[in-house]
Amino acid sequence: MSNYGRLYEKEGREVLVFERTYPFAPDKVFRFVTEPDYFTRWYPFATGDMDLRVGGKIKFDDGEGSVYEGVITEFKPPYSFSFREIDDMLEMQIQETEQGCSLTFRHTFDDRTMAMYTAAGWHRCLDVLGQLIHGRTIEWKDNALELREYYKTNL
């Protein structure tokens, strides 16, 4: 399975999908996806201010003066966590496998021209999430440009 994302259209919107596998049980991976101390380390602009329940708010700060909220639309530990962030939808589904579990990450958005940038960004974030899950030191690789080039021609 490739770590690269793929893009498709659904109901007139763009859906970017990544799949990652881990040799761990869903509950371990779910903690890294949702607990504020971990979430802030891999998810862009996260503040750690999270009310983890359906209808709960997640606060974000871009560091440049924009503060906004997401609203949790699904929260079913340890299998699903979804929220709306402004007009975008973020969905994380975890399935148990024989070798551990798989994470499917979906980002639904409108602006196709941003797809290569969005894909490169999430690719990097999910790489860091994987480092956290595996107990490794976080290293944000300097690969954004090469990932954008890949996604420019492969989405």
Over pLDDT 90: what percentage of the chain?
95
The mean of the pLDDT values for the chain is 96
- pLDDT at residue 2 in the model: 72
pLDDT for 1 beyond 60: no
Q: How far is CA 45 from the centre of its chain?
A: 12
Q: For 28-37, what is the mean pLDDT?
A: 97
26 token code pair? 């869903």
Instruction: Specify the pTM.
Output: 0.95
Give the residue from 10, 54, 38 showing the smallest Cα distance to 138. 38
pLDDT for 112 beyond 90: yes
Q: In this predicted model, what pLDDT tens digit does every residue of 52-90 receive, in sequence order? A: 999 999 999 998 999 999 999 999 999 999 999 989 999
Q: In this predicted model, what pLDDT tens digit does every residue of 116-136 receive, in sequence order? A: 999 999 999 999 999 999 999
Give the residue from 37, 36, 69 showing the smallest Cα distance to 55. 69
- Under the banding of pLDDT at 50, 70 and 90, the label for residue 114 is very high
What distance in Å separates the CA atoms of residue 134 and residue 70, rounded to the nearest whole number? 27
- pLDDT at residue 61 in the model: 94
Scanning 1-155, the segments in alpha helix (DSSP H) are: 26-34, 36-42, 115-133, 144-154
Q: For 143-153, what is the mean pLDDT?
A: 96
Domains of the chain: 6-154 (3.30.530.20)
